[in-house]
Amino acid sequence: MTEGNAETSINDQPIFAAELTPYRSLGYKGFKVLLMIAGAMSLVHVFVFLVIGAWPIVFFLGLDFVLLFGAFWLNYHSARAREEVSVSRTDVAVRKFAPSGRMIEHRFNPFWARFSISRHQEIGIVSMMISGGGRQTDVGSFLNRDDRETFAAAFARALATARSR
């Protein structure tokens, strides 16, 4: 390996790398338990309404169960979105993965990249943007307040480190 290649390979080593994923408070196992409890309760109510002769209500209970399942399915489907952010001496890369699996990549020069944060006095960080070279992209729009603060501090440090090396 020549000296020039060694320097290039050292510059390409990531200073910072993060995978940002949406937070979901109910895991897959909890979702299955919730669905089983809701299904059991619906079946009990279906039986009661059939016995007393109020059979049209059964359709509404079935519709409620289907809507509950559909809402959680959409929630978990959207949770498959993620972003991979990395900073090296020569590159700032943001890879955005949609729930469908489609990936969009944004690359910036760390010396020209600007990291802007929009804050609200009561809420904290509302949005984070990386811009440079006439392009811009938002980062971590699905993160909660605490995770935005943590990411913003770590990313700003990494960007400053990349510029100072």
> Has residue 11 got a pLDDT over 90?
no
89 and 160 share one domain: yes
Q: Would 67 be classed as within a structural domain?
A: yes
129 and 107 share one domain: yes
Residue tagged 């935005």 (tokens): 148
Q: How far apart are CA 147 and CA 128, in angstroms?
A: 12
For the chain, the first-to-last Cα distance in angstroms comes to 22
Quick one: average pLDDT of 11-17? 83
> Has residue 105 got a pLDDT over 90?
yes
3-class DSSP assignment, residue 131? strand
How does pLDDT run across 22-51, given as a tens digit for each residue? 888 888 899 899 999 999 999 999 999 999
Q: How far apart are CA 50 and CA 42, in angstroms?
A: 12
89 and 100 share one domain: yes
70 and 85 share one domain: no
How does pLDDT run across 115-140, given as a tens digit for each residue? 999 999 988 899 999 999 899 999 99
Q: Name the residue among 6, 160, 1, 35 with its Cα closest to residue 92.
A: 160
> Has residue 4 got a pLDDT over 60?
no
How does pLDDT run across 62-72, given as a tens digit for each residue? 999 999 999 99
> Has residue 7 got a pLDDT over 70?
no
71 and 93 share one domain: no
> Has residue 74 got a pLDDT over 70?
yes
Task: With 0.85 as the threshold, say if the pTM is over it.
Answer: no
Q: How far apart are CA 162 and CA 59, in angstroms?
A: 61
Domain range for residue 149?
14-21+81-164
156 and 109 share one domain: yes
Domain count, the chain: 2
Quick one: average pLDDT of 76-82? 89
Q: How far apart are CA 21 and CA 6, in angstroms?
A: 34
> Has residue 60 got a pLDDT over 50?
yes
Q: How far apart are CA 51 and CA 58, in angstroms?
A: 11
48 and 91 share one domain: no
* pLDDT tier for residue 76 given thresholds of 50, 70 and 90: confident
91 and 148 share one domain: yes
Sign of CA dihedral 75, 94, 97, 154: negative
59 and 89 share one domain: no
Q: Estimate to the nearest angstrom the gap between the alpha carbon of 161 and the chain centroid.
A: 25
Residue tagged 């809507």 (tokens): 67
Mean pLDDT computed over every residue of the chain: 89
> Has residue 1 got a pLDDT over 50?
no
